[in-house]
């Protein structure tokens, strides 16, 4: 471990030293999920009852070199389990430690050792959702292992995205599957022929009271469960509007909002963050029409290089996007505590069972091809 780094733990965003700001700004250019705006809103409006912040800041003589924003909780469901988790939850589509370029692995190792010797004792460290296709994922896993923890990787979700490659919306539209193309053409024609319908894209801060009210009206009329943290989305919408990142599209029928989508455009990437539509108007396909209009806006007006559908492998995303990548997590168990050792061994055992079952199936398939074929035909 590089001993010239020191780590300080902070429990409030406002308590962070000024040197953190430069690193937040640099990392925010890679993704809004890494910036102070996002993390502050999550800390203010996205924590569950009983959770508290623990932000690990690694520094040396040249200033702040790394930030690991985490949250701490104690779960009691028949037993006590102390967890230190990424400052991330279902609102978050990407997480990573924030690192100054040049010595990332040494900084990660310092942060991992700080976790391991944290006076606030823990049983489990959980980092997710991490970019599994980047070197940082392997570096973080190695750092946690070197700090003495048992580490288990796990899959979080698929992430579908579109590479625009300089195309216009029309050129992109021409690549749609024929069913989507025909449905959009027919439904858009019907929608636009009705004088009572319109679509509006909100972008400015002074429009936010109306935009938030219309978005929330659609959301509450949709199939989606109520937000567990009702102030998170208004906070997100407002700070994105203030930064010029917001593209909030709303479809109206007779002045009533029937579909709404929150998109965030930042540094050449359009992130499709929230979608909702009023189920009473499902036959209009207002959600698909609104997606096409926002897609046209971000491609032809914002000139983005990428559109990101963020979280999940929903079937419809494949029709709109061109590529898929995966987000994974790392669960690290503290083998020096009873709960950490128990959960670690259980996790290790379950993973060994799954691997053994896969190996047995492969062996059985090679040894008994006719039997496997018969079973496959029956199951199919």
pLDDT of residue 366: 54
Is omega for the bond preceding 169 within 30 degrees of 0, making it cis? no
pLDDT of residue 373: 36
The count of other CB atoms within 10 Å of the CB of residue 271 is 25
Helix (H) or strand (E) holding 84: strand 80-86
Of the candidates 280, 231, 238, the residue with the CA atom closest to the CA atom of residue 262: 238
Residue 222 contacts by C-beta under 8 Å, 6 or more apart in sequence? 276, 277, 278, 279
pLDDT of residue 90: 87
Residues of the chain below pLDDT 50: 1-2, 353, 356, 364, 369-380
Tokens of 184: 């959009």
Q: Are 33 and 77 in contact (CB under 8 A)?
A: no
φ and ψ of 334, to 5 deg: -85, 105
Can you tell me the distance from the alpha carbon of 210 to that of 48, in angstroms, rounded to the nearest whole number?
Answer: 28
pLDDT of residue 168: 98
Can you tell me the distance from the alpha carbon of 291 to that of 317, in angstroms, rounded to the nearest whole number?
Answer: 11
Which residue is listed with tokens 């990392």? Answer: 27
pLDDT of residue 352: 53
Q: Helices (DSSP H) in 14-88: which residue ranges?
A: 19-28, 36-45
Q: What percent of the chain has pLDDT over 90?
A: 78
Rg (CA), the chain: 24
3-state secondary structure of 81: strand
Can you tell me the distance from the alpha carbon of 54 to that of 69, in angstroms, rounded to the nearest whole number?
Answer: 7
Of the candidates 84, 156, 67, the residue with the CA atom closest to the CA atom of residue 125: 84
Q: Are 340 and 334 in contact (CB under 8 A)?
A: yes
The count of other CB atoms within 10 Å of the CB of residue 90 is 10
Handedness of CA 81, 84, 87, 91 (dihedral sign): negative
Can you tell me the distance from the alpha carbon of 204 to that of 43, in angstroms, rounded to the nearest whole number?
Answer: 25
Can you tell me the distance from the alpha carbon of 356 to that of 106, in angstroms, rounded to the nearest whole number?
Answer: 35
Tokens of 325: 């990548």
pLDDT of residue 355: 52
Q: Which domains does the chain have, with CATH numbers?
A: 6-158+327-357 (3.40.630.30), 166-304 (3.40.630.30)
Tokens of 192: 């636009």
pLDDT of residue 119: 65
Residue 53 contacts by C-beta under 8 Å, 6 or more apart in sequence? 10, 11, 12, 13, 43, 47, 69, 70, 71, 72, 87
Can you tell me the distance from the alpha carbon of 157 to that of 312, in angstroms, rounded to the nearest whole number?
Answer: 5
Can you tell me the distance from the alpha carbon of 176 to that of 196, in angstroms, rounded to the nearest whole number?
Answer: 28
Tokens of 154: 């796990």
């Amino acid at each position: 471990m590089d001993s010239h780094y020191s780590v300080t733990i902070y429990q409030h965003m406002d308590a962070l030293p000024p040197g953190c700001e430069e690193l937040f700004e640099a990392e925010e250019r890679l993704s809004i999920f890494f910036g102070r705006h996002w993390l502050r809103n999550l800390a203010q409006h996205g924590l569950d009852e009983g959770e508290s912040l623990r932000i690990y800041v690694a520094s040396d003589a040249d200033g702040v070199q790394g930030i690991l924003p985490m949250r701490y909780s104690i779960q009691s469901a028949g037993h006590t389990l102390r967890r230190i988790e990424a400052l991330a939850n279902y609102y978050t589509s990407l997480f990573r430690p924030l690192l100054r370029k040049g010595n990332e692995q040494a900084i990660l190792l310092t942060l991992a050792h700080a976790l391991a010797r944290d006076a606030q004792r823990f049983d489990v460290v959980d980092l997710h959702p991490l970019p599994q296709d980047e070197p940082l994922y392997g570096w973080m896993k190695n750092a946690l292992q070197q700090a003495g923890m048992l580490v288990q990787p796990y899959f979080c979700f698929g992430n579908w995205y579109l590479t625009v490659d300089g195309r216009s919306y029309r050129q992109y539209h021409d690549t749609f599957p024929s069913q989507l193309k025909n449905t959009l053409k027919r439904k858009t024609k019907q929608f636009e022929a009705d004088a009572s319908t319109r679509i509006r894209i909100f972008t400015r801060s002074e429009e936010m009271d109306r935009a938030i009210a219309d978005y929330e009206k659609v959301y509450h009329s949709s199939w989606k469960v109520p937000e567990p943290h009702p102030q998170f989305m208004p906070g997100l919408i407002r700070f994105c509007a203030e930064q010029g990142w917001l593209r909030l599209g709303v479809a109206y029928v007779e002045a009533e909002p029937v579909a709404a989508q929150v998109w965030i455009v930042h540094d050449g990437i359009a992130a499709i963050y929230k979608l909702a539509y009023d189920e009473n108007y499902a036959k209009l396909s207002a959600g698909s029409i609104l997606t096409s209009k926002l897609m046209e806006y971000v491609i032809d007006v914002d000139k983005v290089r990428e559109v990101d559908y963020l979280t999940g492998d929903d079937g419809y995303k494949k029709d709109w996007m061109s590529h898929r990548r995966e987000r994974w997590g790392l669960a690290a168990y503290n083998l020096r505590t009873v709960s950490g050792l128990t959960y670690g061994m259980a996790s290790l055992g379950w993973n060994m069972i799954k691997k053994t079952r896969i190996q047995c199936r492969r062996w059985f398939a090679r040894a008994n091809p006719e039997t496997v074929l018969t079973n496959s035909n029956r199951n199919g």
